[in-house]
Amino acid sequence: MEKRILLELRGKNPSQVKELNLDNCRSTAIVGLTDEYINLKILSLNNSGLTTLKGFPTLPKLWKLELSDNRISNGLNFLHGCKKLTYLNLSGNKIKDLVTLKPLEAFEKLKNLDLFNNEVTNIEDYRSKVFALHPSLKYLDGYDKDDKDAEDSDAFSGDSYEENGNNDSEEDDSDDEVEEEDDELSLSEVYNENLEEESSASPLYEAEGYLDEDYDDFEEGDEENDANGEHNSKTQEGANTRENTEESTRGKKRKHEDDDEN
């Protein structure tokens, strides 16, 4: 079990772990699991070969404990350090009588208990007696007092655990969402600032790589070219007019000479 725990830690500090899966680790007793796991909320030890719970650590935030398919016959009092325990799965063990279940009275928040495939389930009026023994209990072996399937009930979806350690994880998720919103807001602000910079920038010539001074020169050059073009146009028009006048004068002179010869 110790090697499996080290493997599941993946370099984390025990106080950072919130969920631990030790299914099939094969150990007759609790070894390597200590009180350092102060933030552990979910622990699974299914089919591990456990025969006793002696040495079970104090886990103040544990609300879900899976212990199915082991060989536990007694010693539930060793779970006394898990005051927030809400869900306990003991199916497939060796529990034979109601006296063995009596230590569970100390768990005021216990709402879901699974004892399926234990000899205790063969006791007459087993269900009514267990519900009477644990007033806080809502579901036994997957059914409520009225034999309604827990999976069909809204309470089984997680609402019944909100007052326990599960609510802490929801708060953690909420904090993560706030952080994500802050990140998105920051990106949005940067994007808007870029848009404002682009919209307040000079016309296309700046995007082309021109400076303000270059653009002024460029405009002045355009004005000079326009002026020169207009001047050249007027000069050419004047030259054409003079040429036409000279041709007309020469034509009249030749006509006059022809009349004198006649």
pLDDT for the residue 149? 87
Q: Which value, to the nearest 10 degrees, does the dihedral of the CA atoms of residues 7, 13, 14, 19 take? A: -70
At 67-116, the pLDDT tens digits run 999 999 999 999 999 999 999 999 999 999 999 999 999 999 999 999 99
Q: Are 81 and 60 in contact (CB under 8 A)?
A: yes
Distance CA 180, CA 178 (A): 5
Query: What confidence score (pLDDT) does residue 184 get?
Result: 46
Half-sphere exposure of 164 (CA within 13 A, CB side): 25
**Cβ within 8 Å of residue 176, ≥6 positions away:** none
Q: Which of 54, 84, 49 is nearest to 162 (CA)?
A: 84
State how far the Cα of 152 lies from the Cα of 188, in Å rounded to an integer.
43
d(CA 103, CA 113): 13
What the block records as the tokens of 147 is 């034999």
**Per-residue exposure over 40-59, b if at least 16 CB sit within 10 Å of its own CB, e if not:** bbbbbbbbbebbbbeebbeb
Could you give the CA distance from residue 70 to residue 118 in angstroms, rounded to a whole number? 11
**Assigned CATH for 2-164:** 3.80.10.10
Q: Tell whether the model's pLDDT for residue 3 goes beyond 50.
A: yes
CB 103 within 8 A of CB 125: no
Query: Is 0.75 topped by the overall pTM?
Result: no
pLDDT in tens, 214-262: 444 444 555 555 555 554 545 555 555 555 555 554 554 454 445 544 4
pLDDT for 162-204, tens place per residue?
A: 444 445 544 455 444 444 444 444 444 544 555 555 444 444 4
Determine the Cα–Cα distance for residues 201 and 224; give it in Å rounded to an integer: 27
Look up residue 221 and give its two tokens. Answer: 């050059």
Rounded Cα distance, 217 and 113, in Å: 87
How many residues in the chain?
262
